[in-house]
Amino acid sequence: MKISEKFKEGKEQKRSLLIGFITAGDPSIELTPKFAKALVEGGVDIIELGIPFSDPIADGPTIQSSSMRS
């Protein structure tokens, strides 16, 4: 499903969407798909997958830390 369709669905149902975020590779690349599956099973509507960057200055401290760990 497209993101725009998910937002339309939320609007039609008059509810907010739950969006989860994970950084790929944190704590390991093997666990990333398992974490994504757990988010879906937990009810998130959208998953934002962060791609680690060597200089994540635009992100807050939590995401900066996860980028450095991955």
Active-site residue list: 48, 59
Nearest alpha-carbon partner for 17 in 26, 25, 8:
8
Q: Is the dihedral of CA 52, 54, 58, 59 positive or negative?
A: positive
End-to-end alpha carbon distance in the chain: 28
31, 55 Cβ separation under 8 angstroms: no
